[in-house]
Amino acid sequence: MTPLGIVDYYEAWWIQLIKAIVIFAIGLQIVPIVLIAERKLLGRFQGRYGPNRVGPYGVIQPLADILKLLGKEQSRPNTSIGPLYILAPTISIMTAVATFAIIPFGDAPHIFGTRVGLYGVDVSIGPLYIFALSAIAFYGLMLGGWASGSKYSFLGAMRAAAQLISYEVSQGLALVGVLITAGTLSLTQIVHAQEGMWYIVPQLAGFLIFMVAAFAETNRAPFDLAEADAELVGGYNTEYGGGRFASYYFAEYLNVVVVSGVATTLFLGGWLIPGWHSEPAWLDPFVVLFKMTLFVIFFIWIRATLPRLRYDQLMSFGWKVLLPLATLNTLITAIVVVAVHG
Amino acid sequence: MSATPAADARWSPGDDQIEVQRAPEPGGAGGAYRAFGETLRGLKTTLARVVEGVNTIQYPEQKVAVYPRFRGRHKLHRFEDSTDGQAGLEKCVGCSLCAAACPADCIRVVAAENTPEMRVSAGERYAAVYEINMSRCIFCGYCEVACPFDAITMGHDYELSDYNRGDLIFTKEMLLAEPLDASPLRAEGE
């Protein structure tokens, strides 16, 4: 029995291994692109060019940044707790990459006679898997901030903890509407269920709530209180430098990509093109990447627009506005679904 | 700590009391509606900046043109040509009025007598040493005003960085020479 043979799955174990490597590689390629795209776009939104000195149009700027970070000394404060301090960034990046594994880039076409799913794994509990991993990712921030032994890191970690817990509830409830409508937890099945209509139309409220919560979950502006530079120096990653900081940075941007992928899958019909049901299978990943790009640009656009929220506003918005709206959305969806299909 | 009723009875603001109009409390459906509406307005504003294009001047390649009265690096002057044989002589006579006027005390002048064999300036004396410490200069232009012979004027060169502080002490030869890379100049009133 092969090591993975115990998992009853239609793909051979070696296909899964290859897919794991490919997905990891793609994930690591996307992040530098997002980095440069963010800096260039932020520049445009502010009437300037952004980085344009390293390479043609500055496109290899992220490479230079990352090489610089990797070339730095791995130092840590005397007050830090060694093993946890080293472990925390790896938790962050591991969960980000693991979440990337279940985003479907297409159906399961036949490649060279074998059926290969264009995703890491089609788990039957898709959204639960995402939330499980984002709950673990929170340990990356929390342990990092706490193990640094610095008050700014600790404050940032506390904020991150409160924020992630508050918004995870709304994010989960926003997805429940989609899950009730689709009647399945498998992400590929959810995409197939959207063949008639993308869920952004019937689940518009759920989509808006999901997006707001996604900004908070990824610690992006205007909810970047966990690393509020002006007040906390850098938040939970203040004491990190070099490769460990690069890990945090990578995880943060990979999370943006992952959330974009989840939103694409659940609300924008994944690889589906409206009005074209017989598109070739090789087109699917590009459709998904295109939709993800739109979301990433939206994330950057929002960052260029909105100022950071005050802490009490963040909390009151999360608990008093978002959570009741998400609950109401779930309730109405449930009633409508029962009334129509019941 | 809340004020006691007795304290309230002693003083009332009367006409000094003003009504302050405050934004509604955040929260509720109205708050969410406002938040989304204002967010859309903000997104429109930032997108307009993209449409507007960039305003950056790519500095080392492009430079901002300076106005004629811009006060940049000093220049010392020679007589260009004249009928009484002064052409090429320095205008500076080493009177040190510029050094006296300088609020930053960055000008050093050591004067020497002109001799018939070596005639440097048009007057009786000339500046044997004329140094301006550019790391101290505040570019106020008082030296230019103080000079009775218009020997020193403020130029347009503003690229004055260097690797050593010592290199920022400009000597007479450096000040007399034309700047290598002249800054672009814009017309008055442009």
Average pLDDT of A181-188? Answer: 84
Higher pLDDT, A317 or A39: A39
In B130-164, which positions are buried (b, 16+ CB within 10 angstroms) versus exposed (e)?
Answer: bbbbbeebebeebbbebbebebbebbbbeeeeeee
Look at residue B36 and tell me whether its pLDDT is greater than 90.
Answer: no
Domain that holds residue A191: 13-341
> B27 vs A325: CB contact, 8 Å cut-off?
no
Higher pLDDT, B155 or A7: B155
User: How many Å lie between the alpha carbon of A318 and the closest alpha carbon of chain B?
Assistant: 9
Per-residue pLDDT at A1: 43
Average pLDDT of A295-324? Answer: 86
Write out the DSSP string of A62-131.
HHHHHHHHHTS-----TTS-HHHHHHHHHHHHHHHHHHHTT--SS---EETTEE--SSS---TTHHHHHH
Output the CA–CA distances (angstroms, integers) from residue A332 to A206, A282, A327, in the order listed.
11, 38, 9
**CB-based burial of residue B21 (10 Å sphere; 0-12 exposed, 13-18 middle, 19+ buried)?**
exposed
Average pLDDT of B148-166? Answer: 87
Q: Is residue A239 assigned to a domain?
A: yes
Radius of gyration of chain B from its Cα atoms, rounded to whole angstroms:
31
Q: In chain B, what percentage of residues exceed pLDDT 70?
A: 83
List Cβ neighbours of B115 (8 Å cut-off, separation of 6 or more).
none
User: How many Å lie between the alpha carbon of B46 and the closest alpha carbon of chain A?
Assistant: 6
Q: Model pTM? A: 0.76
Output the CA–CA distances (angstroms, integers) from residue B37 to A250, A256, A299, A317, B44, in the order listed.
33, 24, 17, 15, 11
Look at residue A5 and tell me whether its pLDDT is greater than 50.
Answer: no
Indicate the number of domains in chain A.
1
Per-residue pLDDT at B163: 92
> How does pLDDT run across A135-161, given as a tens digit for each residue?
888 888 888 888 888 888 888 888 888
ipTM entry = 0.72
Look at residue A317 and tell me whether its pLDDT is greater than 70.
Answer: yes
> B54 vs A44: CB contact, 8 Å cut-off?
yes
Q: Is residue A326 assigned to a domain?
A: yes
> B28 vs A320: CB contact, 8 Å cut-off?
yes
- Average pLDDT along chain A: 83
Contacts of A326 in chain B (CB under 8 A): none
User: How many Å lie between the alpha carbon of B1 and the closest alpha carbon of chain A?
Assistant: 23
Per-residue pLDDT at B142: 92
Output the CA–CA distances (angstroms, integers) from residue A33 to A39, A42, A60, in the order listed.
10, 14, 9
Per-residue pLDDT at A105: 82
Radius of gyration of chain A from its Cα atoms, rounded to whole angstroms:
21
> B43 vs A302: CB contact, 8 Å cut-off?
yes
Look at residue B28 and tell me whether its pLDDT is greater than 70.
Answer: no
Q: Hey, is A142 helix, strand or coil?
A: helix
Look at residue B103 and tell me whether its pLDDT is greater than 90.
Answer: yes
Look at residue B8 and tell me whether its pLDDT is greater than 70.
Answer: no
Minimal Cβ distance to A320: which of B27, B35, B55: B27
Q: Is residue A5 assigned to a domain?
A: no
pLDDT band at A194 (very low <50, low <70, confident <90, very high): confident
Q: In chain A, what percentage of residues exceed pLDDT 70?
A: 96
Q: Is residue A109 assigned to a domain?
A: yes
Per-residue pLDDT at A84: 87
Minimal Cβ distance to A49: which of B28, B50, B54: B54
pLDDT band at A27 (very low <50, low <70, confident <90, very high): confident
Look at residue A251 and tell me whether its pLDDT is greater than 70.
Answer: yes
> A48 vs B53: CB contact, 8 Å cut-off?
no
Contacts of A305 in chain B (CB under 8 A): 39, 42-43, 45-46
Minimal Cβ distance to A44: which of B35, B50, B58: B50
Look at residue A6 and tell me whether its pLDDT is greater than 70.
Answer: no
Q: Is residue A112 assigned to a domain?
A: yes
- What residues of B are in the A interface, CB distance below 8 Å? 26-29, 31-32, 35-36, 39, 42-43, 45-47, 49-50, 52-56, 58
> How does pLDDT run across A70-110, given as a tens digit for each residue?
888 888 888 888 888 888 888 888 888 888 888 888 777 77
Output the CA–CA distances (angstroms, integers) from residue A228 to A41, A91, A152, A160, A225, in the order listed.
21, 22, 10, 11, 5
Q: Is residue A270 assigned to a domain?
A: yes
Q: Is residue A2 assigned to a domain?
A: no
Output the CA–CA distances (angstroms, integers) from residue A180 to A51, A173, A193, B120, in the order listed.
45, 11, 11, 96
Look at residue B25 and tell me whether its pLDDT is greater than 80.
Answer: no
Measured CA angle at A216 (ends A213, A222), to 5 deg = 115
Q: Is residue A296 assigned to a domain?
A: yes
Q: Is A204 on the interface with B (CB under 8 A)?
A: no
> How does pLDDT run across B44-85, given as a tens digit for each residue?
988 888 888 888 888 888 888 888 888 888 888 888 776 666
> How does pLDDT run across B112-141, given as a tens digit for each residue?
888 888 888 878 888 889 999 999 999 999
User: How many Å lie between the alpha carbon of A302 and the closest alpha carbon of chain B?
Assistant: 7
